Chain A
Amino acid sequence: MISMSSILSSRSGLILFFLCLVPLATAYLDQGDYLLRICSTAYLYMLLALGLNVVTGFTGLLDLGYVGFYLIGGYTAGLLMARLGWSYWAALPVAAIHGGLWGLLRGAPTLRLTGDYFAIVTFGFSELLFRIVKNEEWLIGGPNGFVNDIPAPTLFGYELWQYWQQYYHILILLILTLLVVYRLHNSRIGRAWQAISQDEEAAQTMGINLHEYKSLAFAISAAIGAIGGAFFAQFQVNISAGVFEFWESILILCMIVLGGIGTLKGALIGAAILGSLGEVLRISLSWMRLPADSRYLIFGAILVMMMRFRPAGILRSTQKSP
């Protein structure tokens, strides 16, 4: 029984309401579409950050290869839609399941590993996927992982390619993901993950099946990454391997650390900031007449300063050991 007024009276509802109004406002702006694209990209990163947070934030395992699942989702959906003519609404769940399966597969040999060894395997895994996509023309259909002309999703016969449509599209995906992750976080499963992140052996002694719970985290995290990839494939239309390089994994990791690792709010804030920082700098630098190529220099400086003065992230994790 959620009435409209009760949603509006809550703060999150109010903010959501304003976010829904953004496309109306940008319609009157000079470069409104650009603004919408930046927002959509930021939401996409927020979604990915939520996904990475499941493994790195909740279970405490450092994942340096998250982009691998993003890649799998992107290519699964892209190939199904562009080559086999699937509808987006069918390709999206298939991509998510495919991603989840790879999450399990990657998890299987790494279940015993902790700490940095896990991180290194994840890094190698995503780099391998990247090379495969680049090299195997028979699989992808073009050199360098090119998949061209991925069609826009259709709803009731309308093609949803305009920026405001994409904006709502990713906003809805983000909110659904947030609800799922939030529910998980505060459930038995979420508490088991927390226990694992604090002390694996103690968790095991308390009757938590480590392998089961870790595998579940891997699968869910991977599926979320793949959903992001599927959205990205139709958003970008023509994709190539270059999108899925190591730097993206690092960027998403920076987001959740910057916001405050282990919290949903932290992941969202970190992703909102870093996901749009590139463009904010692009705008503000040209505005301040600074050389545009100092963009990544400043990006790096911001990372260093943030960690220097808020080493635990913008929001401190609430699940730190007492």
Chain B
Amino acid sequence: MTLFLEQIVNGLVLGGIYALIAVGYTMVYGVIQLINFAHGEIFMFGAYFTFLCLAVLKFPLWLAVLASILLCALMGVVIDLIAYRPLRNAPRLSALITAIGISLILQNLARMIWGAEPRRDLANAKSAFLSQTVIIPGGAQLSYLDLSIIILAILLMVGLNRLISLTRIGKAMRACAQDKMAASLMGIDTNRVIGATFAIGSALGAVAGIMVGMRETIEPTMGYYKGVAAFAAAVLGGIGNITGAMLGGVVLGIAEVLGAGYISSGYRVAISYILMILVIVFRPAGLLGRASAKRA
């Protein structure tokens, strides 16, 4: 039982990270129907920016984290501005290829600047308190870092939900997601809304990147695997649906961990794909998506 509980906790931590990244995919998809392949790279840059602020600019940790989140938000907006905005009226596939190109550029840029080797600088920089472990009721053991990942993920998700449902910009985002044309006719500056979407998604991605950097390592390729898994999570929950992305992330995280723990660790990654295919085939709109199978 303790074993099972520990695996669930492992899954929750992983799920929290996936959910944070998945939100970025799903928000962008919601407003411009683009699978933003470069999002995984923004997640990676979140970790590298923090490392940069710590190592080169000698910022204290909290400031480095804050600076990195802001930098990533800015990066998301700039990418949208120079790469995606000119393609708003082009065929959708062109934007997809652009996203792939951006992803290649960013990944290789990171490799050329910081080298291909994995770095533990972030993990070493975190306060000693975070690496201590705590025993939760039921006997499972987890570090304070893992605990704070879960809590932070929940807080950010709740905050994002509030933002989307209560604020003006959130309302504008929902309007854009429903019908961009109609939204702009109603006087909404759609480009600004899209920019805000990129900024929020990228900032959340950066948070995930920083936490993964503290928990694991930072390396130029880190965005790929976690990005793909998070994307699967977004699809699982119903792409374009923010609550769905959170749910998808958690479901996927737990499924992956339980699959590795009880089925076969060689297929750990494959389990997310199997789940994803099953959901799409039997519930094409995802767990929480709209009923229509069409989203072209």
Contacts and interface: CB of A to CB of B under 8 A. Distances in A.
**Chains A and B in contact, CB within 8 Å:** yes
Given A307-B101, A311-B87, A294 B93 contact: no
A246 B87 CA distance: 25
Interface string B92-109: 011111101111110111
Interface stretch (B60-68, B135-143, B190-198, B267-275): B267-275
Given A296-B108, A311-B87, A114 B296 contact: yes
A254 B103 CA distance: 13
A308 B228 CA distance: 25
Given A120-B235, A304-B98, A113 B108 contact: no
A131 B90 contact: no
Given A300-B103, A301-B101, A301-B105, A135 B239 contact: no
Nearest to B35: A116
Contact of A261 (B93, B111, B228): B93
B295 to A, nearest CB: 5
Contacts of B187: none
Interface in A236-264: 246, 250, 253-254, 257-258, 261
A303 B108 contact: no
B294 interface: yes
A33 interface: no
Nearest to A296: B108
A116 B98 contact: no
B164 interface: no
Contacts, number: 126
Which DSSP category, helix, strand, loop or mixed, fits chain A's interface? helix
A26 interface: no
A143 to B, nearest CB: 10
Given A131-B269, A135-B266, A308 B93 contact: no
Contact of B97 (A123, A124, A258, A293): A258
Contact of A115 (B95, B105, B274, B295): B295
Interface string B252-296: 000000000000101101100110110011001000000001111
- Chain A residues touching B, range: 35 or more
Interface string A97-124: 0000000000001101111110111011
A295 B198 CA distance: 28
Nearest to A62: B93
- State the 5 A-B residue pairs at the shortest beta-carbon distance, nearest first: A115-B296, A300-B104, A303-B101, A311-B90, A300-B105
Given A113-B281, A134-B266, A291-B112, 10 more contacts: A113-B293, A114-B293, A119-B35, A120-B280, A125-B277, A131-B266, A246-B228, A253-B93, A257-B96, A308-B87
Interface of A: 62, 109-110, 112-117, 119-121, 123-125, 127-128, 131-132, 134-135, 246, 250, 253-254, 257-258, 261, 291, 293-294, 296-297, 299-304, 306-308, 311-313
Interface of B: 33, 35, 83, 86-87, 90-91, 93-98, 100-105, 107-109, 111-112, 228, 232, 235, 239, 264, 266-267, 269-270, 273-274, 276-277, 280-281, 284, 293-296
